Amino acid sequence: MLYNFRPQFENSIRDGVKTQTIRANGKRRHPSKGEKLQLYTGLRSSKAKKIRDAVCVGSMICHIRKDGISLLIDVDDLDRFAQQDGFTDFAQLRDFFLNTYGLPFRGRLIMWK
């Protein structure tokens, strides 16, 4: 399964710091545990570049609110969760989703190794 990322996340994905992504629900299905992932930047352009291959280790429903994140349970360490998604802290993640999709956001968390 292919996933495209903004250039700002390329180094943290390559370095193994970003080990998850949160995606909106849509027509496309999300991966299941054990499924192979190909992580890219610049897809559908002449600058397309593969960042790395990965394997999905989990996928679950994710809700982002102004005051927190809910998976099957509430996330206790919001800053650590945000860092695993390539952001500095929860405030930066929240502002990104607020400005890009609006809050509350409902989507899917996909994790890899």
Residues 58-76 have a mean pLDDT of: 90
Three-state DSSP class for 9? helix
- pTM over cut 0.85: no
> Residue 104: left (phi > 0), alpha (psi -120 to 50), or beta?
beta
Count of domains forming the chain: 1
- Tell me the CATH number at 10: 2.30.130
- Write out the residue range of the structural domain in which residue 76 sits: 2-112
Q: Per residue in 69-97, pLDDT tens?
A: 998 777 889 999 999 999 999 999 999 99
Residues 56-64 have a mean pLDDT of: 94
